[in-house]
A and B are shown apart, each in its own frame.
With several copies, the nearest count.
Chain A
């Protein structure tokens, strides 16, 4: 701001400091203004009259002259300044011409001039206030805060809002997720139909069980879990249907919900000997010994 003041006062002076052409000064001068209103305000200050009583026409002339001098020097003039010049030329012409009957909407040139005057006074007031504000004592310049502050310790104790219910539910859902996939790794525990078909084929194929034997006797004897027993029963029954279709065995049931009996189909072809392993034969023999024939 002081810098700006210097430019302004230098510009006012008639004596141009050595080494500086008027063009330089003008250029610097314009460069140092904060827009056209600021420039107008500087020019108005030069009139050294109360801003409230300033002659807007005279001020407009000064402004236009200033701008034309700058432009004669082929210096760049920002559009804002040119717009203001146009507007001032327009205002001046309206102020000087005898008043014409005009639209009611149109603002009278006097009102416009008053607005400009208000604008100048207001900006001047703000510029003065800026100077005063910057002159009052400031922290770190004129007065100071505590240089070596002591921290007020804040000890945060975190509390976590978690109920046992939430904890258990979380664990339950993890376990649920796990069991959902466990189905795939433990299927052997259930008795599959493929297993049953294979087992029945071995036991009943080749006319090995000529007498009627109940379904239960064909189940593996190491089953404990009742559900696995049930699955084996179902699988074995289903397997028996398949083998009956193939003509390997026959099925008999005396009534609804009565026990189901199987025996080898007597018309089935003889098994090839090497198909039957010793172990299986021994097993079949022991089975046969136990059989109670209906």
Chain B
């Protein structure tokens, strides 16, 4: 095996190796008459300006290992930034809107409002989008984390502050809510008063919680009735 062939073999061994190879291991695999050091130097210089380089890794004072590695200066081209557009689930959108309007709000409170448990991924997705962040802890048993929206959230929706979010009346005026005649309106106004109060002081908020609890029972009842109607 001539020197040219030896270089080729060395190159192939280094390429196929699953981790940096120690010189001792290389020597075992190369012909016994090979000038390993000289070959390694030559191979290294062949690759000096290339996209792939032969690196020496000093394992101890007397022992080196060698491996091919892609050139450092190309590393920025070796990673791809890919924009993946994801669709938000309905649960995620609703959760986000509740956090926006009710912040700071705990997970349990969100579940109360929506009337269903939050699946694990829902908050994760909102976190991934960096639209929500933990705000602090509620001073109640268990000290649950409260959540609020981020600057990124405001950016995305082009808002200056969360106070710019339209209130219920504005939503209705812009046709976003189904309008309900008479009685519904009164109830809405009253419950809204309760909600608006909740933003700052905690006591109101707790009052609201109680209301929400009742509400949930009723809501279930309504749903039951609906089910029955459907079964008919």
Contacts and interface: CB of A to CB of B under 8 A. Distances in A.
Direct contact of A and B (CB under 8 A): yes
Contacts of A166: 93
Interface string B5-48: 00000001101111110000000010000000000000000000
Interface residues of B, number: 88
Contacts of A173: 94, 177
B118 to A, nearest CB: 10
A173 B115 CA distance: 13
B93 A134 contact: yes
B145 interface: no
Interface stretch (A74-82, A192-200, A258-266): A74-82
B116 A34 contact: yes
B157 A143 contact: no
Contacts of A103: 203
Interface stretch (A19-27, A123-131, A275-283): A123-131
Contacts of A138: 156-158
A249 B197 CA distance: 45
Nearest to A1: B90
A222 interface: no
Nearest to A124: B176
Nearest to B209: A86
Contact of B83 (A118, A146, A159): A159
Contacts of B159: 136, 164
Most buried by A among B208, B214, B222: B222
B97 A186 contact: no
A232 B230 CA distance: 36
A139 B156 contact: yes
Interface string A180-209: 111111100110000000000000000000
Contacts of A82: 212, 215-216, 219
A209 to B, nearest CB: 31
B121 interface: no
B115 A161 contact: no
A181 B97 contact: no
Contacts of B183: 37, 112, 115-116, 119, 183, 190
Given A83-B212, A90-B211, A184-B218, A137 B158 contact: yes
Contacts of B214: 185
Contacts of B188: 80, 175, 179, 182
Contacts of A79: 191, 216, 219
Contacts of B49: none
Interface in B121-154: 125, 128-129, 131
Instruction: Select the residue from A1, A143, A158 with max chain B CB neighbours within 10 A.
Output: A143
Given A123-B114, A144-B70, A148-B17, A178 B215 contact: yes
Interface of B: 12-13, 15-20, 29, 67-72, 74-75, 78-88, 90-91, 93-94, 96-98, 100-101, 113-117, 125, 128-129, 131, 155-159, 165-168, 171-172, 174, 176-178, 180-184, 186-188, 190-191, 200-201, 203-204, 207-208, 211-212, 214-216, 218-219, 222-223, 225-226
Given A142-B158, A145-B19, A183-B187, 10 more contacts: A4-B90, A105-B201, A138-B158, A140-B82, A143-B78, A145-B67, A149-B17, A154-B80, A162-B93, A174-B98
21 contacts: A77-B222, A80-B116, A80-B191, A83-B215, A86-B208, A122-B113, A125-B174, A129-B166, A141-B85, A144-B15, A150-B69, A152-B17, A152-B29, A154-B79, A156-B82, A156-B84, A159-B84, A159-B86, A167-B93, A176-B178, A186-B186
Name the 6 nearest CB pairs between A and B, nearest first: A35-B116, A37-B115, A140-B83, A119-B182, A171-B97, A153-B79
